[in-house]
Every structure is written in structure tokens, then in C-alpha cells.
Structure 1
């Protein structure tokens, strides 16, 4: 996969269909970049990144935090959304206006004009981190799409089908790209390959991923 990012850089269309109901919007987050990064600093000052533990006792390689009405949490008791940050005992930071504006604009462009998220999961990948193949199914209403924003180092996004064994398609995600999936693709398995080392001119040696959901 070493040349995937370079090979696609010059040929990617601004909008790529990944599957029925799933699209990749190249550079859609770039107009919001400055506001998003400033808001991210404010969020993480109140709710710092942490490495959560899975129900099986595995410590996740991806560091996480949340903002919005509820946050996704994982521990030995299971996966769930909670209105309270278990580390601080306080509500999660509010969803910033620029986050909401970006999520709604991307969802509308992807064909989901009624989407208004109430939660944003914020993932921090450092070199060597990865996200195993999984479905997003902890949300109460699965009719809402997922809006996923990539910032920082490039990553390889794996997008499959409704069964774990379905063929995986791979997409190079770069700073500012936004993936949206819902409808018939809402429960497609997806993941992120191990992050390669590098230096992004804005975020340095990391990748930040914002995923917006209708959780409650």
C-alpha cells in the first residue's frame, strides 16, 4: 500500500461512490479547517484524549474523546453512549457550531439533507495505530448516516459489506476528506489500516478523525 496515496492524488474525483448510499467527498472539510482545529483544542482541554479498554480487556491503540449530547465509551462492561464523561464526571463538551455546520453540509451533499448529529467521536491516530474492522451499531436510530472527517496524516480506509467476510475496498484518506455512509450501507463493515509514520504540515505525526452520529 506504500504508493496508494501518491497514485490516487492526481486522479481522485471530488466525489467518489464507495457503495450504494456511501460517498467520499474529497477536501470537503478544508473550508472549515481553521475553525475546527481551534474548537478541537478547546474540547480536548476539557475532555482529554484517552485510550479506552474494550469489553475483552484490550486497550485500544487509537486515543479517543467526544463532544456533543453523548459520547461513545468502551470499558469492561461494554460499548455504549453516555451523556457523562466517565473520567471527569461532567457532561461532554458541547458540539461546536463549526463541527455541526460541516457535518450537515457533508451529509446534505451525500444525499442525507435531514441529518443533524448529536454526538461526535474524536479519534487520534499516531503511527502504528489502527482501527479493526467493525460496524457502527450502538446508535439508537440506524436510519441516520455516519459522517467521518479525516485530518492530518493520510490513512487507508477499508470499506466492506454487510458481512465481515465481504470484499474490502480501500481508499486513501487525506487531510480534509469526508466519508459519508448510510441507508443500505449504514451497517457496512469498515476500518482503518495501521497508520504509517509521517509528518503532516499542520498536525504533525498524527491523524485526527471526527465521526458524527445521531446517537440518542
Structure 2
């Protein structure tokens, strides 16, 4: 039982440290990036990110697909838990938030597609768990369940796209958040 209490204490300590780092960093910013062929770049936004760990700062070096709008607000968050194939929990500005991926849908646990749901969750876990991610808003901020609606990027992947590309998710159109809809629908054909 003592080991369990120590693990809980350690988890709270880590979350507290991460909260402090995120709150003290000013990690939400607006941007006006330029389109370079098929991608947008976040280079040049380092000023507000210098107090974040190198892993989070490296998110500034990724190339974003052209479907990401120039006026988009970007947020850096730390993934604390994978909920299912298309939802995660993150630490953002010292608060825990649930994030629902825009433009994709994965099978539900309590359906005939339980095995597919487990596989989608596992792939999502491999892609994002315990990492800093870049969250990109489309039009809507939250869904009816108060989850943040975002495109999610790691230093390696556009996670929404990768889930479709790997067959773990289906591309879906949820207006008005459709900026990357065509891009996601084309993921199956790549």
C-alpha cells in the first residue's frame, strides 16, 4: 500500500512541476506563418517558448500542412492520458483539459468494434502519451461535452492524419471545423 501512495504522490509532483512549467511559459500564442509550398512553419516563434523544455521547443520546427490557417492560435500542452483513439487529456496552462481530435472518428469501446477501438487507443498512446504536443484550433473551441477541439501534432506526426492513414480512424466532416477535411480524407489514399 505504501508503494501505491508513493506512486500517487510522484504523479502529483510531476503534474505540479509540469503545471508550473506550462503556466510560467506563456505557451499560447497567435501566429501569422507563411505558406511554403504545402506546409506552414512555426519557426520564429521561439520568444514565448524559451522556458519550456527542449522537447516542447522542438515543436516549433515542425512543418504544418497548408490546411492550417495562418491566423490560427497554437497551444503547447503535455499529454497526461490517452482516453481513447480520438481523445486525450492534457495539461494546458496548469489545467487538465480533455481534447477531441478534429476531423476523425475511431470505434467506440462499447460497440461491436471493441477490438478496433482498443487498437486505435493503443496507436494513439504510442503517438502521444507522455509527450508535448502542439494543439491547433480550427473554428470551434469546444464540443458539447466541453472538450477542446484540436488538430494535434507531435514533432513526428500530424496525429489526426496518422490515425486515418494507419486505418485506426475514419476521416469525418464536422462543420464548421473542416479546414483540414480534404487533407484527412486523402490520408486513406496515401
Q: Which protein has the larger Cα radius of gyration, Structure 1 or Structure 2?
A: 2
Larger relative helix fraction: 2
Greater relative contact order (Cα < 8 A, sep 6+): 1
Question: TM-score when scaled to structure 1?
Answer: 0.27
Larger relative strand fraction: 1
Question: TM-score when scaled to structure 2?
Answer: 0.30
